[in-house]
Structure 1
Amino acid sequence: MKRFLPLLLFFHVSLSVKHTLTYFLTTSTGQKTLPEFVGVATLDGVNVGFCDGINRTEIRSDWMEEVKEKHPELITWHIQTCVETHNFNEKHLKNIHQFFDQTEGVHTLQELVGCEFDDQTDLYTGFDFYGYDGAGFVSLDPKRMTWTYTERAEPYKHQWDPDEAQLRSSRDIIRTICPKWLKVYLLYGKKSLQRKVPPSVSVLQKSPSSPISCFATGFYPNRADMFWRRDGEQTHEDVDHGEILPNPDGTFQMRVHLDLSSVTAQDWSRYECVFRGSGAESDIVTRLDQAVIRSNEVPPSSLVLAVVIGAVVLLLTVGIAGIFMWRRRRQAAAY
């Protein structure tokens, strides 16, 4: 079956050396409250496009309206391929169910596919990872153009390998289609991509006995660091760093937790939170003081939004996190 990249390509890029265009595709069975297929497009971590494989699509960047006007054939093509990929992955998921005798319950087949552009070397590299039920399953070796399998997927390789059409399609996506449209969107989104927005930084605590969180939101681009200092020196003791996550408006958020359960109130003034990089011209330093702490027992809606579309966040986040971890391990092993 001929298969193409399944999303409306709506992208939002940061001014980093490398720009990554990624598609998160989730096909599920046994879910009564969520769509059977969901596709989310991101560029450098920003959620910029959505389709459900049936009729619904969403544009998530203002500058994409110009692309839609000047390249209507592109939009039409991606709507069609979203439907085609829904059908393709649904068939594959059912085959995996039957092979492993797992026809009952909730199961998901997720794909993380895309390409990365290095604007210093002008080189593109592609990737295509599949996960089953939230764990790594099959991945494409972009140099050899062959599939590699996790131990869990090894018994299924004889079912997957013979599908030459799928291999050709993945090759076309990562070598031709993804780089082509990435160039287009980098061109149209240039003005938006060059902006710099500093964060709003808050100190939050759910309850008097909970860890204290330094929370930064609304910043762009997504190249930033945040940490706690004690007596002017960065401290790693009792500190937990969160991931940089996208906001629905195209900006980013991050947080870093500090457990002060063993620190006396008199010593709180020795600590300060530091946000560094991204849209901030200089470090943003927030000294720890009881007066600046806000309660987040009912967290702002922005704290629970990542690469989401409504209730789909629960389905996407668990599985994609597993695939991302698997991808990072594979990349680390390659060096």
Structure 2
Amino acid sequence: MVNRRKMKVVAVLLLGLCCFHQTSGDTHSMKYILTGVKGISEIPEYTSVGLVDDMPFVYFDSNINRMIPKTKWIEENEGKDYWDSESQREGGFVPTYKASIQILMERFNQSTGVHTWQRMYGCQWDDKSGATDGFDQWGYDGEDFVILDLKNLQVIATTPESVITKHKWENNRGWIETERNYFTTLCLDWLKKYVQYGSSTLERKVRPEVTLLQKDSRVVCHATGFYPEGVMITWKKDGEEMHEDVDVGETLTNEDGTFQKRAVLTVSPEEFKNRKYTCEVAHKSGETLIVDKIEIQRSNPDSSVPIGTIIGVVVPIALIAIVAVVLILRKIRNADNKAGFSRANAEDSSQASSEKA
């Protein structure tokens, strides 16, 4: 039996990955997601994943104890010193994250169970306007814990238990200065460098495949294989956009780095006979919004096999899955212990990430 809290682990991990993403074709982003876990032996105690434009490019966990490349462009452009330095930094966070979970368990009066401490941090840069932004948040057991206000360099406590952490971190002026320096200079410098490294990959456009699947009163319009993210799926009845009886899913990442998304329509077989239903898949490619329509074959409403497949010109919006999360989710499905994940933000400097709760 799947524990409800384990399902929360999955949900919050995905939320943490989707909340910061590319906003347009001119905006680039870099973020790191750091996760400490206590109570599940099947997954590493500590995991770190780096993403550029929502594409995983580096990965570290406490089992392999080494930062490794996840894309050819970072592997081809950085040498031994880079990987040694990254590995040393991430390895230093392992005891800190274990200690933070223990501190918070005591603060929340918890003695057993599965607990998590997670941080996500990063920055964005618009290569046209030059506008920049940053984000830095922490979470414990599936709930927001503290958020760094980068404009005022203040820590926002989101729970009564996080007020102690707020005061502790704000009183550390060295930490505050490190944060300021990282988000205003270092993060952006590395982001621009990585974008240059991976321009041929990050700026590519891949068309999606759109397939219609019908089973009884449920019809699934499924788009997959597109890059970058940014697909919109709309169901229409007799040319009018539908909002009721339509369930649009999140954009998810395929193992090859492309994306997939689906929208499920629920309607009676009788309606199929009397109405014209279409699924529109819109994808922004460059400056043009391309819309491809698929008409449902009403003559076979109970078919459970694909009844319509097209190739559409599409453009993606954001990458949600990462290699680390895929591994974690697979193992969590087989675990029977209670679990809870948090979403959060992290920073690339060793001092900031080494701060205990």
Aligned partner of residue 217 in structure 1, secondary structure: strand
Amino acid in structure 1 at the alignment position of 2:281: F
Flag the 1:275–1:20 CA change in 2: closer, same or farther, 3 A: same
Unaligned 5+ runs, structure 2: 1-20, 307-319, 333-338, 346-357
Counterparts of 1:1-335 in structure 2 under 5 Å?
16-53=25-62, 54-68=64-78, 71-156=79-164, 157-205=166-214, 207-209=215-217, 211-261=218-268, 264-267=271-274, 270-279=276-285, 282-289=290-297, 294-295=304-305, 306-309=321-324, 310-313=326-329, 319=341
* Secondary structure class of the residue paired with 1:185: helix
Q: Indicate if the aligned counterparts of 2:50 and 2:57 stay in contact, CA closer than 8 A.
A: yes
Q: Distance in 1 between matches of 2:268 and 2:85?
A: 56
Cα distance in 2 for residues equivalent to 1:242 and 1:272: 17
* Distance in structure 2 (CA, Å) of the matches to 1:311 and 1:186: 26
CA distance in 2, matches of 1:284, 1:60: 33
Give 3-state SS (helix, strand or coil) of 1:289's partner: coil
Distance (whole Å) between structure 1 residues aligned to residue 56 and residue 23 of structure 2:
13
Question: How big is the shift at 1:318?
Answer: 7.4
User: Secondary structure at the residue paired with 2:250?
Assistant: coil
Q: TM-score, normalised by structure 1?
A: 0.78
Give 1:35 deviation, angstroms.
Answer: 0.8
Q: Which runs of 5+ in 1 are unaligned?
A: 1-11, 297-304, 325-335
Give CA-to-partner distance per residue, 1:168-208, whole Å, 9 cap, x none. 44334322332111011111111222221110111235x53
Distance 1:75 1:123, change over 3 A: farther
Specify which structure has the bigger relative contact order, considering alpha-carbon pairs within 8 angstroms and separated by 6 or more residues: 2
When residues 265 and 233 of structure 1 are mapped into structure 2, their CA distance, relative to the original with a 3 A threshold, is closer
Instruction: Write the letter of the residue equivalent to 1:273.
Output: C
Q: Let me know the Cα RMSD of the aligned residues.
A: 3.1
Distance 1:163 1:100, change over 3 A: farther
Amino acid at match of 2:122: G
Range that drifts further, 178-187 or 75-84:
75-84
Q: Distance in 2 between matches of 1:236 and 1:187?
A: 41
Q: Is the 8 A contact 2:117 2:138 kept in 1?
A: yes
In structure 2, the CA distance between the partners of 1:171 and 1:17, relative to structure 1 (3 Å rule), is same
1:247-304 Cα deviation digits (max 9, x unpaired): 2212111111211148533136x111111114597322221226696559xxxxxxxx
Closer, same or farther: CA 90–267 of 1 in aligned 2, 3 Å? farther
Relative to structure 1, is the Cα distance of residues 15 and 77 closer, same or farther in structure 2, using a 3 angstrom cutoff?
farther
- Residues 14, 44 of structure 1: 8 Å contact kept: no
The answer to whether the 8 A contact 1:110-1:134 is kept is no
User: Taking structure 1 as reference, are residues 286 and 94 closer, same or farther at Cα in structure 2, changes over 3 Å only?
Assistant: same
Q: Distance in 1 between matches of 2:77 and 2:340?
A: 32
Partners of 1:150 and 1:15 lie apart in 2 by 30
Is the 8 Å Cα contact of residues 107 and 161 (structure 2) preserved in structure 1? no
Contact 1:113 1:127 in 2 (8 A): yes
The residue aligned with 1:4 is none
Mapped to 1, the partners of 2:224 and 2:340 lie a distance apart of: 23
Cα-to-partner distance string for 1:131-165 (whole Å, 9 max, x where unaligned): 11011110101011110111344443344444445
